Structure 1
Amino acid sequence: MEISQQVFEMVITPEDRLGSRCLLLLVLLLPAWEAGSGQIHYSVPEEVKHGTFVGRIAQDLGLELAELVPRLFRVASKGRGDLLEVNLQNGILFVNSRIDREELCGRSAECSIHLEVIVDRPLQVFHVEVEVKDINDNPPVFPVKDQRISIYESRLPDSLFPLEGATDADIGSNSILTYKLSSNEYFALDVKTNSDDSTQIGLVLRKSLDREKAPEHNLFLMATDEGKPELTGTVQLLVIVLDVNDNAPSFGQSEYEVKIFENSDNGTIVIRLNASDRDEGVNGEVSYSFNSLVPPIVSDQFRIDPQTGEIVIKGNIDFEKVNLYKIRIDATDKGHPPLAGHCTVLVKILDENDNVPQIALTSLSLPVREDAQFGTVIALLSVSDLDSDANGRVTCFLTPDVPFKLVSTFKNYYSLVLDSALDRESVANYELVVTARDGGSPPLSATVSVSVDVSDVNDNAPTFAQPEYTVFVKENNPPGCHIFTVSARDADAQENALVSYSLVERRVGERALSSYVSVHAESGKVYALQPLDHEELELLQFQVSARDAGVPPLGSNVTLQVFVLDENDNAPALLPPGPGGGAGVVSQLVARSVGTGHVVAKVRAVDADSGYNAWLSYELQAAAGAARSPFRVGLYTGEISTTRALDEADAPRQRLLVLVKDHGEPALTATATVLLSLEDSGQAPKASSRASAGVAGTGTALVDVNVYLIIAICAVSSLFVLTLLLYTALRCSAPPSEGACGPGKPRLVCSSAVGSWSYSQQRRQRVCSGEGPPKADLMAFSPSLPPCPVVADMSEPQDLNDHCSKLMVSV
């Protein structure tokens, strides 16, 4: 109310030339919703001062004052400049500059300023119509300052002489004119209304003129409108009284109406006029011409044949420029002085469909997020056609088939909205074609192209080529060595596709995973932070996470199974023979009566390595200068047995050196000392018997244990071969892995003098299925295959042509 009061005080000032009239007109300023249209309607008088209150537009649109600036509230008026403005502090629409209704709309009965109110975030558009009310600010105006009228003295009373009336630029009651003629005894004023609601005035002769008495009559014609206050205009009428010719030509009717199409060809006949004169001879010969007061716009478009009275087209007739021509025609005889008759020809122009629709993009909201909701407004369009009726009735549609549609928001206004889901990874840009077509026959159309870019959102997580990778690394690797590279791809764009890598931390025994390996955040390279020990950790299984830089970030994990390959870094270790014995020294009593092949002692040793590196062999070292020993040692059992029967010539104390050697490359060894005491069976029969029984029992037990061990090994080997075949059948079609594992790694099967051994990745699949400790390597022996060397790193190619048969299995 305070703002409204200030606006009223601003408008109603003593200097306002409209005075108290504005107070009455301002009552009309209250906004009203137009029934059924959803459009806000205001009204304001023309010529009001800057700052005049028009309406509380923000309140009427249901907008909060605090959101006008953040939501980029703005008002657009096509072709109207800055006549109206909105105060963003209080949401009031006010007059910003002078409004001249006649300049805006001419003599149109309706005059409105159409505003587009646009609010972003989210985008909304409202249509506001501000009607400009007319005030009586234009007085009647005559086309000339004085009119000269020639009248023959022979004219009879009641003769009519047409006058050019005044025009008023206002409308309504402000343009309704009344005429008053200055007081005289000869002339009266005749006023009548034509079919087009125009007023035709003329002088009526009330009594005969006498040129000799009064050759001229000076009259004043005053036109007064019905506005408040009334405004007037005057013109001087100079009546010249002529002599002689007393019959003027006359037309059949005072007004003719003709209709022609626009764009008619030059030379087209509009109408043929005919005026008659009752005089004879020269006084009855009539010539036709445009009245001297005909405006130039008529003489530029039409011409009249003086002899025939034909009005023909000589210019371009355009309905959109002028749709009605009012032509005053004079028919003048050739008497002395000549007399003239008058008529009016109304030429109405009919519209043709000669204007192509116009399309204007008033607002664009680009690019469009691929997760935008249905109904999101992409652009605002307006169409127009200068033609009328069906020729100016425009419809819009979209081509081709795209996930957008046009929604009509107001007459000739459309919103381009999202109609279905977008996917930038499928289509990143749409080229839309908007076609506007009018209802003419034939119809005319226009097109405009709109390029709509789809912006990316983080809706795709990084993906790895396969869910897990197998990596083989030799133990005792240098710290910080590169063992593998993981790589993930993200279908999104820019920062949403920027992938970083990290370890999924977990405990490995008593230590954290990050103490064993690390991954480079950008390249995905995996490094071993410390030397790995096959005897401590045979399999290291962990996950690497790939995360993009989107908000919120998306990610996925890949599993790496790192097998630590054994190297021959542990020498054989001798086991003590029993209580009371030292490691590496075996003492045993042997009766001289034992036969050939009798087991008298056994050397036991183990190797912390695995596979071929842990396969031990035993050799008997002969002492320098000593006679041939009656004992031998089993190559792979470590059992010491006699090679012949013992006799008295054999030394009573035998000292044997047994070399224990693994099959690594290079091989590592250990030496065991065996002390044998030979006794005669007669000297210590009980002891000898016990010793012989003990040795024999020991030998028998060892033989039994070896038999069971061989049976168990064969059973496990058969199960392993079956598992290997099943796994190979399942994985044969899998894509090759990366890094140290490499594509198509072979499974190696080798043989030795006493059997064969195999190391397979199929075993790794079984070991990695749980979190428990890894199992020992498996060796299966068969005497049918030739010997072969040890392969330390399955990730590198080896030359096995001389010793190995290879079976290639894709992993």
Structure 2
Amino acid sequence: MTRIKREILFWQAQWLFYLVLFWCRTEAQLRYAIPEELKEGSVVGNIAEDIGLGISDISIRKLRIASESGKQYFSLHQRNGELLVSEIIDRERLCGKSTSCVLPLQVIIEDPLEFYRVDVDIQDINDNSPHFHSDTNIIEVPESTVTGAKFRLETAEDPDVGLNSLRNYSLSKSEYFVLNVKSSKDGTKVPELVIQKPVDREKQSVHHLILTAIDGGNPVRSGTTHINVRILDSNDNAPAFERDLHEVQVMENTAPGTLVLTVKANDVDDGVNGDIVYSFGAHTPEAVQTLFTINSETGDIILSGILDYETSTSYKFDIRARDKGTLALESHCEIRVEVLDVNDNVPEITIASLPQPVKEDASVGTTVALIALKDWDSGDNGKVQLHMSPDYPFKLKPSFSNHFALVTDGILDREKFPEYRIELKASDSGSPALSSFNTITVKVLDVNDNAPIFSHPLYTVYARENCPPGSLLSSVSASDMDIGENAKISYAIIDSKTHTVSIPSYFYINSENGTIFSMHSFDYEKIKMFQVLVQAKDHGSPSLSSNATVHVFILDQNDNAPAIIYPSAIMGSVSHQRMSRTAKAGHLVTKVTAVDADSGHNAWMFYRLVEATDMSLFSVNLHTGEVRTKRSVSEQDDTSQRLIIEIKDNGEPVQSSTVTVDILLEEGLPEPVSDIQQKNTNYGKNNKITFYLILALASVSVLSLMTFFVLVVKCARQGRGGTMCCIRRSDSDGYKNPNRNLQIQLNTDGPIKYVEVLGGDVLSQSQSFGSCLSPLSEFSDFTLVKPSSTIDFKEINVLDASLPDTAWTFESQQVSNFLFFD
């Protein structure tokens, strides 16, 4: 035990020397050299320091090791990063007689992912002495054997390699025998006993010798065996093999029962002394005798077991040929069977690290996983290639021998492919080639690269006016192709103005579900449409957004009663009109004109005579409001006639207004134009007075036309070609409300000339005055009527009076005045 401890201390010191001498690091690969038999806990090297990793980074970046051999001979100190021996390593058990014994390790850093390879070279120490299989060997030598005859001795075995392996043999001193050591083709030392002096059985029948095997270690180790040489009587000739060495190659997939080779030996003796029996050598390993059998008579060597190149690449054993003489003689030949590799091992794909999830905006070249390949075959059969489909945005990047990194090689899009199942194929170069498959699943992490998208870019909403605040108007919705917080959407109304009105003050949107509510009651007569800009914004970082437009159209309700603009009672609630008693049936007495601030059906108005002093005398047109006589005035009719006229709209519920008109029947008023023209026709030739009156009136009319000619020309240039010009004074308040779609009609029936206004708003209390001249007037005088109500209209354009009533329609903001010709 003391000797063994000294050897261990010696080799520990030698290991430190090797560690400094042989350690190196090249391109993500470390190499250490240690002697075998190191005790548990011995330090191999500091991996963390050698790869440039700080002590604090060991746990943060998750430094770990993995063994490629399947057995954990080493461990990693998690505090300082030292590589420690976790199990005593027996080099002979691990690598046998191989001159190189390297244990590969994988050093993996998880965050971010890095990969290193560590090779630990196990150095041999002289911990094994040469030994023989038998403590005693018996050799029979016929006394007739000539000087120089050789007898092969048992070879010793030493599990150590290199300098520590078997180097020589020595033989105890003898005057009859000397030792001859020959080297075989593979360098093996084979001892032979050589007769240097004829032996005589009668003098000494048994010779006792000691054979010593010596290795080249320091200190030297040795082993011995006793050789008893028995002297036999003559069987003069020993069998002789045709060849001392037989070499044969056998495929590893050769079927049991196949003839491997046949050995042949000859013996010149006659009879039983020349009969030969073949057998394995005395010290043939049991493994050889399990795999091979020999026919004792023919020398046929037959394969009886299954060869495996990966277990052993060659076999070496001896065949003995012995005759059947009384003093049997024998000879030996060496058999070397080389096992040829067959591609019978499928390549193995090992995922060295778990695939890391990768963000969809990861740059090209980002490492996802580490892959290692292994094939137990040799030569071309062990050359492996790794393939994957080019359809994936990934590629395989070679790292070092049979190691690859799976890296990104294109643009990732989680919305299209949230996960990739990448099939790897490993194929060797054998014939036929063998392949294996493995699948790597790579998950793609979401990045906020998609803005919310509205289901419609434009929404149309209809809301009734006067709806209560808080009413549900509509709902918008947007979707986001991202997931998680990147897909969570909030809705908001972007601050803007419509008709100088702040949109957020009129509308509220639920930020979570996009439901839009009203915050105020709407007034169609003020604002008919709102344009609401809604924004959908996700919760990503940075957040993305998109907009949609919501057009809110206000639907009119019948909330305005008709407003009577003519006739207007200036001093009271009753309008007073005058009519000649000579009026005939169908005479236009007056016309009731009203406007309704509503629109559409709600602004359609109907006129009805609800009460009159004499219902048989007057009628009211349902649609125009014209008041005409139903018959001629008689002397029995009251001088004062009162009419109550109701104006209703077409809305729901119906709104109405009434106006009271007092008509005074008088004598001596000018007759209607049609009557005067009739009288002029009937009596023109006979009544000179009438002629002079007509001439005087015509003269006055011409002068009047010339007076206003300049004004007519100016109006014609500025207007739209009308023959009627109005000189107006704008309101002092500068009102600029939008158009109210007023319809203007000029009525010239009967003695009363007036302008009819259909539609519009009662918007101002200020009054305007204007002067108008009609070229169609049959009289030289005209009357300027000032409206008695507070209704104020602007921008009236008067068209050609010769056009029919239906053509007198145009859009205007407000009517500024009314002109009546009497």
With the length of structure 2 as denominator, give the TM-score of the two structures: 0.74
Query: How far apart in 2 are the matches of 1:267 and 1:622?
Result: 137
- Measured in 1, the distance between the counterparts of 2:83 and 2:723 equals 102
Given the alignment of the two structures, is residue 567 of structure 1 paired with residue 567 of structure 2, yes or no? no
Task: Give the whole-Å Cα distance in 1 for the aligned partners of 2:294 and 2:186.
Answer: 23
1:610 equivalent to 2:606? Answer: no
Alignment map for 1:620-659 (pairs within 5 Å): 620-623=609-612, 626-628=613-615, 651=638, 653-659=640-646
Q: Hey, what does 1:142 align to over in structure 2?
A: 132
In the alignment, does 2:30 pair up with 1:40? yes
Q: Is the 8 A contact 1:290 1:304 kept in 2?
A: yes
**Following the alignment from structure 1 to structure 2, what is the Cα–Cα distance between the partners of residues 265 and 99?**
37
Instruction: Give the aligned partner of residue 667 of structure 1.
Output: 654
Map Cα deviations across residues 114-147 of structure 1 (whole Å, 9 max, x no partner): 1122222332222222211222222222222332
SS at match of 2:164: helix
Cα deviation for residue 670 of structure 1 reads 1.5
- Equivalent in 292, 295, 311 of residue 285 of structure 2: 295
- Match of residue 736 from structure 1: none
Sort the Cα spacing of 1:32 and 1:680 in 2 relative to 1 into closer, same or farther, 3 A.
Answer: farther
Structure 2 CA distance for aligned equivalents of residues 668 and 591 of structure 1: 31
SS at match of 1:201: strand
Match for 1:403 among 393, 404, 407? 393
Question: Does 2:491 correspond to 1:504?
Answer: no
- Does the 8 Å CA contact 2:588/2:626 hold for their aligned counterparts? yes
Q: Does 1:486 align with 2:476?
A: yes
Higher alpha-carbon deviation: 135-144 or 572-581:
572-581
SS in 2 for 1:68: helix
Instruction: Tell me the amino acid that sits aligned with residue 542 of structure 1.
Output: V
> Deviation at 1:329?
1.4
Q: 1:78 aligns with which of 62, 65, 68?
A: 68
Structure-2 residue corresponding to 1:339: 329
TM-fit CA distance, 1:575? 5.2
Shift in CA distance, 710/252, structure 1 to aligned 2, threshold 3 Å: farther
Structure 2 distance, partners of 1:461, 1:38, is 43
Deviations 1:304-330 (A, max 9, x none): 222222222222222222221111111
Aligned residue number for residue 223 of structure 1:
213
Contact 1:437 1:446 (8 Å CA) reproduced: yes
1:43 CA drift (Å) = 1.6
| 1-structure distance, mates of 2:258, 2:512 | 83
Which residue of 2 is the match for residue 421 of structure 1? 411
Count, aligned residues: 689
Contact kept, 8 Å, 2:32 with 2:119, in 1: the verdict is yes
Which of 139, 160, 164 lines up with 1:170 in the alignment? 160
* Distance in 1 (alpha carbons) for counterparts of 2:396 and 2:427: 14
* Offset at residue 187 of structure 1 (A): 2.9
1:636 CA displacement: 5.4
Query: Deviations 1:92-132 (Å, cap 9, x if unpaired)?
Result: 33333322222221111111111122222332222222211
Q: For the structure 1 residues 156 and 628, does the alpha-carbon distance in structure 2 shift closer, same or farther, using more than 3 Å as the test?
A: closer
Cα distance in 2 for partners of 1:509, 1:348 equals 101
Cα distance in 2 between the residues matched to 1:345 and 1:569:
122
User: Equivalent residue of 1:325, what SS?
Assistant: strand
Q: Among residues 109, 131, 139, which one is paired with 1:119 in the alignment? A: 109
**Residue 586 in structure 1 maps to residue 575 in structure 2:** yes
- The DSSP-based 3-state class of the residue aligned with 2:248 is strand
Q: Which amino acid aligns with 2:523?
A: D
| Structure 2 residue 191 is matched with structure 1 residue 204 | no
Equivalences for 1:228-243 in 2 at 5 Å?
228-243=218-233
Residue 69 of structure 2 contacts residue 103 of structure 2 at CA under 8 Å; is this kept in 1?
no
C-alpha distance in 2 between matches for 1:518 and 1:16: 92
Distance 1:36 1:92, change over 3 A: closer
Three-state SS of the structure 1 residue aligned to 2:373 is: strand
Aligned partners of 2:73 and 2:86 also within 8 Å? yes
The equivalent of 1:282 in structure 2 is: 272
Q: Work out which of the residue numbers 255, 258, 280 in structure 2 matches 1:265.
A: 255
**C-alpha separation in 2, matches of 1:478 and 1:350:** 96
Aligned CA distance change for structure 1 residues 146 and 500 (closer, same or farther; 3 Å): farther
- Name the CA distance, whole Å, in 2 between partners of 1:710 and 1:365: 90
Q: RMSD of the TM alignment (CA)?
A: 4.1
Q: SS in structure 1 opposite 2:17? A: helix
Where 2:659 maps in the other structure, the secondary structure is strand
Identity %: 41
Q: What letter matches 1:115 in structure 2?
A: L
Q: How far, CA to CA, are the matches of 1:368 and 1:473 in structure 2?
A: 50
Question: 1 CA distance for matches of 2:618 and 2:574?
Answer: 17
Residue 543 (str. 1) matches residue 536 (str. 2): no
Alignment partners' CA distance in 1, 2:452 and 2:298: 91
Shift of 1:76: 1.0
In 2, the alpha carbon distance for the partners of 1:21 and 1:316 equals 40
One-letter identity of the residue aligned with 2:373? V
Query: What is the DSSP-based 3-state SS (H/G/I as helix, E as strand, rest coil) of the residue aligned with 2:93?
Result: helix
Counterpart-to-counterpart distance in 2, 1:333 and 1:292? 16
Tell me the SS of whatever aligns to 1:622. Answer: strand
SS at match of 1:459: coil
The answer on whether the counterparts of 1:755 and 1:783 sit within 8 Å (CA) in structure 2 is no
SS at 2:660 equivalent:
strand
Name the residue aligned to 2:305.
315
| SS across alignment from 1:364 | coil
User: What per-residue deviation string (whole Å, max 9, x for no partner) do you get for residues 643-699 of structure 1?
Assistant: 7777876555544323232221232112223345566669xxxxxxxxxxxxxx9xx
Q: Which amino acid aligns with 1:266?
A: P
Alpha-carbon distance in structure 2 between the residues aligned to 1:552 and 1:175: 71
Is the contact made by 2:593 and 2:757 (CA closer than 8 Å) also made in structure 1? Answer: no
- SS of the residue aligned with 2:94? helix
Change (3 A) 1:627 1:756: closer
How far apart in 1 are the matches of 2:301 and 2:627?
145
1:167-225 per-position Cα deviation (integer Å, ceiling 9, x unaligned): 11111101142323233433322212111111101222333334444433333322222
Which residue pairs with 1:762 in the alignment?
none
State the Cα distance separating 1:561 from its structure 2 match.
Answer: 0.7
Please tell me whether Structure 1 or Structure 2 has the larger radius of gyration of its CA atoms.
2
Distance in 1 (alpha carbons) for counterparts of 2:267 and 2:25: 59
Contact kept, 8 Å, 1:634 with 1:640, in 2: the verdict is: yes
Q: Which residue identity does 2:652 align to in structure 1?
A: E
1:756 and 1:783 in contact (8 A); partners too:
no
**Matched-pair contact (CA < 8 Å) for 1:365–1:377:** no
List aligned pairs for 1:67-106, cutoff 5 A: 67-106=57-96
Q: Aligned partners of 1:390 and 1:300: how far apart in 2?
A: 30
Once residues 494 and 6 of structure 2 are traced to their aligned partners in structure 1, the CA distance between those partners, rounded to angstroms, is 82
Deviation for aligned residue 1:464? 2.5
- What amino acid does structure 2 have at the position aligned with 1:571? A
CA distance in 2, matches of 1:615, 1:266: 114
Q: For residues 408 and 488 of structure 1, what CA distance do their matches in structure 2 show?
A: 46
* Counterpart secondary structure, 1:18: helix
Structure 2 residues without counterparts, runs of 5 or longer? 670-703, 705-715, 726-738, 744-755, 760-803, 807-822
Looking at structure 2, the residues matched to 198 and 331 of structure 1 have their Cα atoms a distance apart, in angstroms, of 22
1:355 is aligned to 2:367: no
Report the secondary structure of 1:222's partner residue.
strand
Q: TM-score under structure 1 normalisation?
A: 0.75
Distance 1:167 1:123 in 2: 48
Structure 1: any 5+ residue segments left out of the alignment?
Answer: 1-13, 683-696, 698-703, 721-753, 758-781, 785-811
Letter in 2 for 1:613: N
1:586–1:603 Cα contact (<8 Å) kept: no
